[in-house]
């Protein structure tokens, strides 16, 4: 991968990471915040690595809840004595609970809420198309900025992610990408950001026939097609689905609790952190600034 030989990561002044609890201490010195849960163990046999896309690698769609939540609030009938804030919180909770699954599941949830309130909902696919139209108005300028060269593609890649992908490729790991975003859009945006070359044909996303795709199905296919066990799988994601599905098969799960609005700041999104630790994440990182010592540790090339 030629891009890896010339890759340079911008220098950023890092604050010292806080000391980890004794049961989480390791011999490495991390430049940023890296948190290990008690379930962490080194995995020298890891051979296959799965990545989520939005929020984990790409920031093209950063701020998507600011599009979806207002749309849900607009579409959801008000009930007696419900405040605007209560309605907004209900919509937000529904949306984030399903984050990481295909977008259509959030729209199915909206339709069910509307029906439960005595109104006649439209088909979930109509809501999905309306959301994508509104989202397109938000992100269209970003895509054009990258295409035209007005902005660097690195502005829309999670800090250090490209170097981390190069690192994994150099270790001989096979890389896979799975997203709840429509597959055509994932492939288009991965190509725009020059990330698709890391994954080759192994880029998977939502289908019109939504029951034919899930991250769980992708994981099962990886294990089956390569005759490997879950112990050989490593996954990175900022949604609960990929973390939970990876843990279910015995894989190692790294939560990328990225602060998407402040790329490179090294801050952990606390909501993501709590949510992802809650479904079994073994490691929590804000971005990939510490990919080298972290991978050394994971692959058993450093003392634990």
CATH of the domain at 232: 3.40.50.1000
Q: Across the chain, where does the E strand assignment appear?
A: 35-36, 48-51, 174-182, 203-206, 233-237, 252-256, 283-285
Q: Which two tokens stand for residue 14?
A: 């890092």
Q: Would residue 180 count as lying in a domain?
A: yes
Q: How many CA atoms lie within 13 A of 42 on its CB side?
A: 14
Pick from 98, 131, 148: which residue ends a domain? 148
Q: Which two tokens stand for residue 150?
A: 């007005």
Q: How many CA atoms lie within 13 A of 121 on its CB side?
A: 22
SS (H, E, C) 173-237: CEEEEEEEEEHHHHHHHHHHCCCHHHCCCCEEEECCCHHHCCHHHHHHHHHHHHCCCHHHEEEEE
Q: Would residue 303 count as lying in a domain?
A: no
pTM of the model: 0.88
Per residue of the chain (304 residues), give pLDDT as tens: 556 865 544 433 333 334 444 445 555 689 999 999 999 999 999 999 999 999 999 999 999 999 999 999 999 999 999 999 999 999 999 999 898 899 999 999 999 999 999 999 999 999 999 999 999 999 999 999 999 999 999 999 999 999 999 999 999 999 999 999 999 999 999 999 999 999 999 999 998 888 889 999 999 999 999 999 999 999 999 998 999 999 999 999 999 999 999 999 999 999 999 999 999 999 999 999 999 999 999 999 865 5
Torsion over CA: 93, 95, 99, 101 (sign): positive
- Answer yes or no: do 248 and 171 share one domain: yes
Return all residues near 72 (Cβ < 8 A) that are at least 6 apart: 91, 94, 95, 110
Give the Cβ contact number of residue 242 at 10 Å: 32
DSSP letter at 78 equals: P
Pick from 97, 124, 148: which residue ends a domain? 148
- Answer yes or no: do 87 and 101 share one domain: yes
- Answer yes or no: do 38 and 82 share one domain: no
- Answer yes or no: do 53 and 69 share one domain: no
- Answer yes or no: do 54 and 173 share one domain: yes
- Answer yes or no: do 133 and 189 share one domain: no
Q: Are 290 and 161 in contact (CB under 8 A)?
A: no
Q: Would residue 99 count as lying in a domain?
A: yes
pLDDT at 16: 38
DSSP letter at 256 equals: E
- Answer yes or no: do 173 and 215 share one domain: yes
Q: Which of 237, 213, 301, 287 is nearest to 34 (CA)?
A: 287
pLDDT at 3: 64
- Answer yes or no: do 135 and 171 share one domain: no
Q: Would residue 304 count as lying in a domain?
A: no
Q: Would residue 227 count as lying in a domain?
A: yes
Pick from 148, 166, 200: which residue ends a domain? 148
How many domains does the structure of the chain reveal? 2
Q: Would residue 174 count as lying in a domain?
A: yes
- Answer yes or no: do 38 and 92 share one domain: no
Q: Are 80 and 270 in contact (CB under 8 A)?
A: no
Q: Would residue 138 count as lying in a domain?
A: yes
Q: Which domain holds residue 79?
A: 65-148
Q: Which two tokens stand for residue 15?
A: 């604050």
């Amino acid at each position: 991968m030629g891009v890896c030989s010339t890759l340079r990561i911008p220098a950023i002044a890092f604050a010292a990471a806080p000391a980890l609890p004794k049961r989480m201490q390791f011999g490495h010195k991390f430049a940023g915040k890296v948190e290990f849960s008690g379930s962490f163990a080194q995995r020298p046999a890891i051979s296959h690595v799965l990545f989520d896309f939005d929020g984990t690698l790409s920031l093209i769609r950063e701020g998507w809840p600011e599009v979806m939540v207002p749309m849900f609030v607009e579409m959801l009938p008000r009930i007696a004595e419900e405040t605007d804030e209560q309605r907004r919180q209900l919509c937000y909770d529904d949306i984030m609970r399903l984050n990481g699954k295909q977008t259509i599941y959030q729209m199915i949830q909206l339709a069910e809420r509307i029906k439960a309130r005595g109104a006649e909902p439209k088909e979930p696919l109509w809501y999905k198309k309306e959301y994508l139209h509104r989202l397109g108005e938000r992100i269209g300028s970003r895509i054009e900025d990258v295409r035209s060269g007005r902005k660097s593609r690195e502005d829309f890649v999670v800090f250090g992610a490209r170097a981390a992908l190069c690192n994994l490729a150099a270790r001989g790991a096979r890389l896979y990408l799975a997203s709840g975003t429509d597959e055509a859009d994932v492939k288009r945006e991965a190509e725009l950001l020059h990330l698709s070359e890391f994954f080759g044909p192994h880029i998977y996303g939502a289908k019109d026939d939504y029951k034919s795709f899930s991250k769980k199905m992708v994981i099962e296919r990886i294990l089956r097609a390569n005759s490997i066990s879950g112990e050989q799988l490593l996954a990175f994601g900022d949604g609960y689905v990929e973390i939970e599905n990876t843990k279910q098969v015995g894989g190692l799960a790294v939560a990328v609790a990225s602060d998407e609005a402040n790329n490179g700041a090294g801050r952990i999104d606390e909501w993501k952190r709590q949510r992802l630790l809650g479904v079994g994440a073994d490691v929590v990182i804000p971005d990939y600034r510490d990919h080298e010592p972290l991978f050394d540790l994971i692959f058993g090339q450093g003392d634990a």
